[in-house]
Amino acid sequence: MPAQRAADPAIGASERTTDEELLRRHVAGDPDAFGELFARHKDRLWAIAIRTLSDPEDAADALQDAMISAFRRADSFRGDSAVTTWLHRIVVNACLDKMRRRNARPEVSGGDDSLLDAIGAAVPAADPAASSETSLEVMSALRQLPRDQQVALVLVDMLDYPVAEAAAMLGVAEGTVKSRCARGRARLLPKLAHLRQPGGSVRQRSETGNRFDARSVLPAQEGSDEAP
Amino acid sequence: MIGHISTDELASYHAGTVAGGRASQISAHLADCPSCAGVESQLGQVSALLASVTVPAMPEAMTQRLRSALAEEVTTRAARHAAADAGVVSRERPWRRRVPGWSSPVLVRSLVAVGAIVVVVSGGIVLANLGSSGSPSVAARQASPARSKQRFAKIAPRTNRPVMSVLPVRYRSAGHVFKTTVVVSDLSYTKADLAGEVRQQISSPFTVPGSDSSGSFSTHAAQPSSALEAVSAQRLAGCFTKVAAGREILRAEVAHYQGLPATIVILRPVGTIFDVMVVGAACSATNADVITRLSLSGS
């Protein structure tokens, strides 16, 4: 059965339609195709936005910018990557853009209160663990890293994207992603030394004599963190 | 034997970016040095900690908001295609964007027919950050995207004048280049209803992203397809630079005022006061051609 479905993508429910086909239909004028594509990937895309930007309002803006851009630019998709990678890349770029702007203009407008309330109320409900102390501390430490390192770690360590895919989303070499992750982890190490990790028990290790932060972590250079 | 290895280098090794001979050295050292081996293992735990941060599904409010935004896109596209099929639209222009909430079919005509411009300048509150891919402006920034629709719908049907087009315009103010999207509505405002209409628009509690957050008229935006429009856009650019006078334009609409072509400009508010200027068809970089102005309290 699965083989048949694969052989004839036109048959059957929409979940059997490939992303590429949905995008093609969208470009051809199908009014529902893009919405379907969005529904398939929205949670992953949201995860990227909310974890790179932290602020729900910013994440919402970035994701909306990205989706509208993807909607309008769909005909420029050339198929040299998977549709998901393409979509993710647009979202990642929108998030980076938002981060840059936020840095340029630190004071952020208040946002629409009712929306913030709605999102604020929805987040804990959907994800009680997100506000756990550990998660909050990890996020807070992460936010102190340079942007590129943050994004690389969110994609690779937090959301478990393969390095190659993260590299494709970011439009950089795989080595660059690895290097950013490495520098980011080295920086996070002393900041997270006190956290016990579920199952792995970071603290135990320090109690058994391996001080977690046994040596000073080299102050990572600001600015370029590219691989050599 | 080599000495202790820095955390940075261990991290690189751990990530697989240390090459050949050096990697072998580090590997050998780790076998003999519990301290360095401990750090390497802790680097792995950093990854594990990051992985332990759970990731929420998209909140329902957000899903709804995005669905609304995409639905608007679908509607716009369909209307544009229908218009093109019907031959109403003579020129397909990539920059033509749907104004969120303006549900009327977008008919493209020359701007000559409409000489007047309404520019509303205010600050803090975004009435319509029109046409940007960003346009988190209206629909996006509201919990209830239907709101913007209602707001604009009240105007358009009343006069039976559809929004004809939108036009991106760049202008200078306070040393910066701003981009705003002018709505060409062909509405007729009157002295009696101008304040009410503007007040109705600014009473909605949106906050505004900066005008530059609108982001994305592509470069096509600067290439109107007819000379007439080029002139008009250029004139508006000069006009806005003159009218903004160091402030930012929140919203501009090419329409009629008291039966005359006019542009209504709402400026980004200073405090809670919205300044609204109605300028005539002659408005340019050197002559604002102000027909009337008013200040409204946005609170």
Q: Is the pLDDT confidence value at A2 over 70?
A: no
Give the lowest-confidence range in B15-24, B77-86, B217-226, B277-286: B217-226
Q: Does B162 touch chain A (CB under 8 A)?
A: no
Task: Please answer whether residues B264 and B119 qualify as being in contact, where contact means their C-beta atoms are separated by less than 8 angstroms.
Answer: yes
Contacts with A, B 23-62, CB within 8 Å: 34-35, 38-39, 41-43, 45-62
Flag whether pLDDT at A6 surpasses 70.
no
pLDDT tier, B221 (very low <50, low <70, confident <90, very high otherwise): very low
- Interface-testing mutation among A181, A202, A212, with chain B (most B C-beta atoms within 10 A): A181
Evaluate if residue B200 carries a pLDDT over 70. Answer: yes
User: How close is the nearest chain A Cα to the Cα of B76, in Å?
Assistant: 11
Per 3-state DSSP, what percentage of chain B is helix, strand, and coil (rounded to 5)? 45, 20, 35
Whether the CB of B207 is below 8 Å from some CB of chain A: the reply is: yes
Region A68-77 average pLDDT: 91
Instruction: Say what the pLDDT of residue B140 is.
Output: 34
Considering only CA atoms, which of A167, A199, A150 is closest in space to residue B49?
A199
Ranges for all domains in chain A classified under CATH 1.10.1740.10: 8-128
Least confident window among A29-33, A69-73, A82-86, A221-225: A221-225
- pLDDT given for residue A63 in this prediction: 95
DSSP 8-state symbol, B212: G
pLDDT over threshold 90, residue B191: no
What is the pLDDT at residue B242?
A: 87
A129 touches chain B (CB under 8 A): yes
Interface of B with A in 254-283 (CB under 8 A): none
Percent of chain B with pLDDT over 70: 60
pLDDT at B78 over 70: yes
Nearest residue on chain B to A31, judged by CA atoms?
B74
pLDDT for the residue B87? 57
Interface test with B, best of A109, A163, A218 (most B CBs within 10 A): A109
- Test B59 with A43 for CB contact under 8 angstroms: no
Of all residues in chain A, the one with the smallest CA distance to B134 is A65
Residue range(s) of every CATH 1.10.10.10 domain in chain A: 132-212+220-228
* CA-based nearest residue in chain A for residue B210: A109
Region A74-97 average pLDDT = 91
| C-alpha triplet A128, A134, A138: angle, nearest 5° | 110
Which range of A7-11, B43-47, B200-204, B292-296 scores highest in mean pLDDT? It is B43-47
Tell me which architecture the domain covering A132-212+220-228 has in CATH. Answer: Orthogonal Bundle (1.10)
Inter-chain residue contact A135 with B54, CB threshold 8 Å:
yes
Q: Is pLDDT of B11 > 50?
A: yes
Q: What is the pLDDT of residue B177?
A: 81
| Local structure of residue A16 (DSSP, 8 states) | G
Chain A residue nearest residue B132, CA to CA: A65
Give yes or no for A78 touching B (CB within 8 A): no
Which residues of chain B have a CB within 8 Å of the CB of A23? none
The per-residue pLDDT for B252 is 85
ipTM of the predicted structure? 0.71
* B38 Cβ neighbours under 8 A, 6+ residues apart: A205, A210, A211, A212, A214
The torsion angles phi and psi of B162, rounded to 5 degrees, stand at: -70, 160
Residues of B in contact with A164 (CB under 8 A): none
Mean pLDDT of B50-78: 88
Selection from B113, B74, B76, B108 nearest residue B92 by Cα: B108
Q: Does A185 touch chain B (CB under 8 A)?
A: yes
Q: Which residues pair with B168 in a beta bridge?
A: B181
**pLDDT over 70 at B291, yes or no:** yes
> Which has more confidence, B124 or B66?
B66
Closest by CA to A154, choosing from A69, A107, A87, A88, is: A88
Q: How large is the C-alpha radius of gyration of chain A?
A: 20
Of B274 and A117, more confident: B274
Q: Which residue has the higher pLDDT, B82 or A83?
A: A83
Short-list A159, A36, A18, CA closest to A79: A18
**Of A57-71, B85-99, B150-164, minimum mean pLDDT range:** B150-164
Q: Do A35 and B67 touch (CB under 8 A)?
A: yes
Across chain A, mean pLDDT equals 75
B118-143: pLDDT as tens digits: 444 433 333 333 333 333 333 333 33
Average pLDDT over residues A98-126: 51
pTM of the model: 0.51
CA-to-CA distance for B64 and B69, rounded, in angstroms? 9
Tokens of A30: 């199908």
**A67 has a chain B CB within 8 A of its CB:** yes
Instruction: Tell which wins on pLDDT, B176 or A144.
Output: A144
Q: For residue B112, give how far its alpha carbon lies from the nearest alpha carbon of chain A (Å).
A: 29
Among A185, A215, A218, pick the best mutation site for testing chain B contact (most B Cβ within 10 A).
Answer: A185
**Mean pLDDT of all residues in chain B?**
67
B3 touches chain A (CB under 8 A): no
Which residue in the block uniquely carries the two structure tokens 């963190």? A225
Indicate the length of chain B as a whole number: 299
Written as one letter, the residue type at B240 is: F
What is the C-alpha to C-alpha distance for residues A191 and A193, in angstroms, rounded to an integer? 6
Chain B contacts of A214, Cβ < 8 Å?
A: 35, 38-39
User: What pLDDT digit, counting tens, does each position of A156-193 carry?
Assistant: 999 999 999 999 999 999 999 999 999 999 999 999 88
Q: Choose between B176 and B159: higher pLDDT.
A: B176
The CATH number for A8-128, chosen from 3.60.20.40, 3.40.50.720, 3.40.50.10140, 1.10.1740.10, is 1.10.1740.10
Report the pLDDT averaged over residues A115-141. Answer: 58
Supply A44's token pair.
């992953």
Q: Which residues of B touch A113 (CB under 8 A)?
A: 205
